[in-house]
Amino acid sequence: MGTPDFAVPTLNILLQQEDLEVVAVITAPDKPGGRGRKTLLESAVKKVALQHQINILQPINLKNEDFIRTYRELDADLAVVVAFRMLPEVIWSAPRLGTINLHAS
């Protein structure tokens, strides 16, 4: 989980590991930007995920029941969070091995 450029190096390192699979990327929804705010801008993390054909989830609300169900169905062993918003406990505790949070501050 992550959105800004700061999260990309961690994602790239995870993608280089032969003994693990990145099952999905969770990032912020695309935001209007550019002249007249008519262009949807993708997060840096989404751009990398698209290059590697990784499943992308862009929830507006992390407490949404459909998102929570989809997240649990990923059946991830571990979640790595880099520079993302606050996670509700239901998301934080879903992976079997837990969640690791990396933050610049």
Q: How confident is the model at residue 73 (pLDDT cuts 50, 70, 90)?
A: very high
CATH number for the segment(s) 5-102: 3.40.50.170
Q: What does pTM read for this prediction?
A: 0.90
Please give the helix or strand (H or E) that residue 8 lies within, else none: helix 8-16
Q: Where does the pLDDT of residue 35 fall: very low under 50, low under 70, confident under 90, or very high at 90 and above?
A: confident
